[in-house]
Amino acid sequence: MATATVSTANVPITAVEHPLRNPNYRLWLIGGTISLLGDQFYLVALPWLVLQQTGSAVVMGAIMMAGAIPRALLMLMGGAVSDRMSARKIMIATAMARTICVTVIGVLVWLRVLRTWELYALAVAFGVADAFAVPAQTAYMPSLVKREQLVAASSVSQSTAQITTVVGPVPAGFVIKTLGVAWAFFVDAISFLFIIGALWKLPDPPKSQTARKAMLHSILEGIAYVGKDLPLRSLMLLVTILNFCIAGPVSIGLAYLTKTRFGSPAEYGIAISAVAAGSLLGALLAGVWKIRQRGVMILLVSLALGVCLGSIGLLGKVWSIASVLLIMGAAAGMVNI
């Protein structure tokens, strides 16, 4: 869900109604949460299916990249489109497209006729859909609540999204283990129906709320601000390098490790949930623990991540690996706040 920041200094706290009392926001939150849970089934199923189909970590990385490239290249275009068209209708269209995609892949897997190029096509389709859906979601959510409710609504949406990344992968892994990978795609397809149904009932945003600062201009402003601040620029560079170094081992390495060592998608789901739980824990710790020397913290985190990554390959039990991944996620979560 989207995150936004507004000032509520002139609004008494007691006068602000909680956004969950707003029926439109509540409908949006329920539909979106179910859809996000379904997304976790897709995120566990796709790497596992690639390894089942090809046995190659290289192919898995290439398919992941096939989804990431259009997402990155088209995100600004998606923001521009959501400024000029109905964000609600964009989200409905992209959700329908993704529903069709995962249903088709699920059927092909079920019939045992899936070919590798179709997985590339699925990844590209999801990347394009995300590039338009994410900006539309960011534009639409503020129209559902009052201005003074926006901070609370964003906090609830963000927290709910983080929780789905923790609780979703484990049942996804067990569904794949017991019923087969096709059912994970079917679950994701069904979950999209909830957000489509919610959006179908929700209104379009008022036209007065569609005039927003261009996304490109906002991004350029942020880049310029970081560029003028040497300590912040150095910090951003270090955090970027750190995230880049752990992205491959986590997104590709975990699937390959659990596939070759344990042979079970259930263990892969546990591993993914451990990383997400650690990230959530790290974010919570960063909120209550004031870090004065962030540079020193990054160095310590880098050391901890290196030790953890090196130890994963030596561990033979899934719960010991999950414990290390929990620590890694917490360390990375603290730095990224």
The rounded distance, in Å, linking the Cα atoms of 234 and 253 is 28
Q: What is the DSSP string of 46-94?
A: HHHHHHHHH--HHHHHHHHHHHHHHHHHHHHHHHHHHHHS-HHHHHHHH
In a domain, 218, yes or no: no
263: left (phi over 0), alpha (psi -120 to 50) or beta: left
Are residues 80 and 49 part of one domain? yes
- CB–CB of 161/34 below 8 Å? no
**For the segment 131-150, what is each residue's pLDDT rounded down to a tens digit?**
999 989 988 988 888 888 88
Would you say residue 8 lies in a domain?
no
Q: How far apart are CA 327 and CA 319, in angstroms?
A: 13
Residue 10 domain-assigned (yes or no)? no
pTM exceeds 0.75, yes or no: yes
Residue 56 shares a structural domain with residue 91:
yes
Q: What is the pLDDT of residues 67-117, one digit of tens each?
A: 999 998 888 888 888 878 888 999 999 999 999 999 999 999 999 999 999
> Pick from 167, 188, 213: which residue ends a domain?
213
Q: Is residue 2 part of a domain?
A: no
Q: What percent of the chain has pLDDT over 70?
A: 82
Q: Residue type at 205?
A: P
Would you state the pLDDT for residue 300? 78
The token pair that represents 61 in the structure block: 């990385």
CATH of the domain at 155: 1.20.1250.20
User: Quick check: 199 and 31 in contact, CB under 8 A?
Assistant: yes
Q: For residues 66 and 183, state if they share a domain.
A: yes
**Left if phi > 0, otherwise alpha if psi is -120 to 50, otherwise beta: which for 7?**
beta
In a domain, 299, yes or no: yes
Which residue in this structure is represented by tokens 């004031």? 290
Do 186 and 50 belong together in one domain? yes
Whether residue 56 is found in the same domain as residue 158: yes
Write b or e for each residue in 210-241: b if 16 or more Cβ atoms lie within 10 A of its Cβ, otherwise e.
beeeebeeeeeeeeeeeeeeeeeeebeebbee
Do residues 243 and 199 share a domain?
no
Which range marks the domain in which residue 77 is found? 16-213
Q: Which of 161, 184, 213 is the last residue of a domain?
A: 213
My answer on whether 202 and 241 are in the same domain is no
User: Of 213, 238, 265, which residue constitutes the final position of a domain?
Assistant: 213
Helix (H) or strand (E) holding 137, with range, is: helix 116-140
Instruction: Please write the tens of the pLDDT for every residue from 274-324.
Output: 999 988 888 887 767 766 666 677 777 778 888 888 888 788 888 999 999
Q: Which two tokens stand for residue 242?
A: 């750190």
Q: Exposed/middle/buried for 302, CB within 10 Å: 0-12, 13-18, 19+?
A: middle
Is 164 part of a structural domain of the chain? yes
**C-alpha triplet 217, 220, 226: angle, nearest 5°:** 145
Q: How many domains does the chain contain in total? A: 2
Residues 177 and 129 placed together within one structural domain of the fold: yes
Q: Are residues 126 and 29 in the same domain?
A: yes
